[in-house]
Amino acid sequence: MADLKYYDVILKPVITEKSMNAMADKTYVFLVHPDANKTMIKDPKKLAQRMSILCILIGFIALAVGIIAMAMEQYIIAIAMGIVTVGQVWNYNKWKRVR
């Protein structure tokens, strides 16, 4: 068996009429690596869920630091934290699609 990493397990989503109808029941269909077993396939879902939570947490912390920086008139830091917050929203949307 090949030494698979978590990013090698799911190859791509399967886009068919049947898989699109299954999405209504929150069932998603992916093409997976032939050497992957059930445990390997479940792990990326857990990783995506954890990454989504981490993105939310980092986003809120960056937002809080940005608000404090604005109150202290540290505008460069406030702008940087705003950029981090927007980046985390983008990351969250990316990881949400994987789940």
Could you read off the pLDDT tens digit of each residue along the chain, which spans 99 residues?
557 776 677 778 788 888 888 877 877 788 888 888 887 777 667 767 777 787 788 888 888 888 998 899 988 888 888 888 888 888 777 777 765
Strand 30-32 with 10-13, pairing: antiparallel
SS (H, E, C) the chain: CCCCCHHHHEEEECCCHHHHHHHHHCCCCEEECCCCCHHHHHHHHHHHHHHHHHHHHHHHHHHHHHHHHHHCCCHHHHHHHHHHHHHHHHHHHHHHHHC
pLDDT for position 99:
56
Using CA atoms, how far apart are residues 87 and 48, in angstroms rounded to an integer? 17
Structural domain total, the chain:
1
> Which residues share a beta bridge with 76?
none
pLDDT for position 98:
62
Residue 90 in domain: yes
Residue 1 in domain: no
Domain that holds residue 52: 6-98
pLDDT for position 2:
58
- Tell me the pTM: 0.51
Residue 64 in domain: yes
